[in-house]
Each structure stands twice: as C-alpha cells, then as structure tokens.
C-alpha cells in the first residue's frame, strides 16, 4: 500500500531520496503515486488477469481480441509514463531513485511475468529499469520479483 510505504519511509527516516524532504521533489513522488493506481497498476494488473489468471481459472485462454484491447490500454499508459514522468531523466524525480520508481517497476513487472516484455521495444523504459535494478542491487531486484516471474508456470 502506498500509505504504508510513506509511513515507513518517514517513521524509519529512510535516506532522503526515497521520499524527499524537498517539497518539489516530494510533490513529483506524490504526483506519480497518485496517478499510478488508476493507470500503470490498473492496466498492468488487467493484462496479468487477462493473460494469466482468467485462463487459469476458466481453463481456457481468452479470445485474442480481448488481449489485444488490454495490451493497447497498457501501451497507452506506458507512453504516458515515459512522456510525463520519465521524460529525459534517469529516474522519475531526477537523478536519484525514489519510492515512485520502486512502485513503478514493481507494477511493470506484473505484465512482464505474464509474458509481455514491455521493455523490449522501449529503450527509454528499458534503460530506466536497468538503472532502478542497479540502484536496488540486481540480486535484491531478482529476489523481489521471483514469485511474480514464476506466475505463468502455475
């Protein structure tokens, strides 16, 4: 939950880059966190649901046109994410990773786990992901996503 992340960042006085004390940077984090739940999270989860969970529950894949529509919705949100939030910056708020990047990458890994490599044809997004992974540490990044990346094999 976003509320819990913000609480933990403040309670345990995490390094400032996670949830900056600078009001302009904090506003950028808050802006993304307010936007993402009805955009990246909603469309990424819908893709995962359509591609993985519903076929698992129903015992059959859904019609291709259903997945195409869901994929197009996700692609629109990914374009907005790149243009509005990433722009030409290394991370969402600038030169340092923040909670906004952490939340974003976690949500984007859900469609990846469903077999849609959304980073493949988006070099800006792929570079951002690489920077996030490097900032967190590759091993921690892989451990954090281990469960979701195995979702298709259930």
What residue segments make up the domains of the chain, in order of their start? 24-150
pTM, two decimal places: 0.93
In CATH terms, the fold of domain 24-150 is: Glutathione S-transferase Yfyf (Class Pi); Chain A, domain 2 (1.20.1050)
Give the whole-angstrom CA distance, residue 66 versus residue 79: 20
Per-residue pLDDT at 154 exceeds 60: no
pLDDT tens for each residue of 42-83: 999 999 999 999 998 999 988 999 999 999 999 999 999 999
Give the whole-angstrom CA distance, residue 98 versus residue 92: 7
Give the whole-angstrom CA distance, residue 49 versus residue 47: 5
Mean pLDDT of the chain: 94
């Amino acid at each position: 939950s976003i509320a819990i992340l913000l609480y933990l960042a403040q309670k345990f006085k995490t390094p400032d880059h996670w949830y900056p004390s600078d009001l302009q940077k904090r506003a950028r984090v808050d802006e993304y966190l307010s936007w993402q739940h009805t955009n990246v999270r909603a469309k990424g989860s819908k893709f995962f649901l359509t591609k993985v969970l519903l076929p698992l529950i129903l015992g059959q894949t859904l019609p291709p046109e259903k997945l195409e529509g869901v994929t197009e919705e996700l692609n629109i949100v990914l374009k907005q994410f790149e243009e509005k939030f990433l722009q030409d910056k290394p991370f969402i708020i600038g030169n340092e990773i923040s909670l906004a990047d952490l939340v974003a990458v976690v949500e984007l890994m859900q469609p990846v786990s469903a077999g849609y490599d959304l980073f493949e044809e988006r070099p800006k997004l792929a570079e951002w992901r690489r920077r996030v992974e490097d900032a967190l540490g590759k091993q921690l990044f892989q451990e954090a996503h281990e469960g979701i990346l195995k979702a298709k094999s259930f």
